[in-house]
Amino acid sequence: MPGHRGAPLLDDEIEEIERAYPIVRKYLSFRHKDTIDERGLIQGRPGDYTTQVVDRKACVFVVFENEIATCAFEKAFLKSEIQWRKPISCHLFPIRVSKEPPYSLRFESIGECQPALERGGRENIPLWKFLETALTRAYGQAWFAEFAEYCLSHE
């Protein structure tokens, strides 16, 4: 995604990124590793951190496989190499959370997600169901159960 900032990060995710980086580094391209070596893993300040970006486009932790962007952290997590999956903002995407209270969730529509949305439509998997793991991670099982009940009653 074009821009000068990467994925929004929670302050407590910085330590997780630093801890996981030596393990996920092997999945990154030379260009992404060079960017990290030059500019670091993250940018910003407390309360407003993001991942670093390459050429004002991709997050430095993006791994491209057959033109599909995946995450180096998630790749290592799924191989049981690390315990932390990835930043919560990435896990929730394409849902974004407002920065200021009262917090709200919003869908961010980008062209890159269109094939996934179309597949979800064909397979009858609504976005809220696809994001169950991420939403539960972010807000807990009780919240998700109430949310799912609401979604089902409004289909």
What single string gives the DSSP state of each residue in 22-58?
Answer: HHHGGGS-HHHHHHHHHH-SEES-TT-EEE-EETTTE
Burial degree of 96 (CB within 10 A; 0-12, 13-18, 19+)? middle
Whole-angstrom distance, CA of residue 3 vs CA of residue 135: 26
CB 54 within 8 A of CB 40: no
**What would the pLDDT profile of 14-56 be if each residue is shown by its tens digit?**
999 999 999 999 999 999 999 999 999 999 999 999 999 998 8
Cis omega (within 30 of 0) for bond into 46 = no
pTM for the predicted model, two decimal places: 0.89
> What CA–CA distances, in Å, run from 48 to 9, 11, 95?
7, 8, 18
Work out the average pLDDT over 139-146: 96
What was the pLDDT predicted at 67?
79
The torsion angles phi and psi of 10, rounded to 5 degrees, stand at -80, 150
As a whole number, mean pLDDT of residues 88-100 equals 91
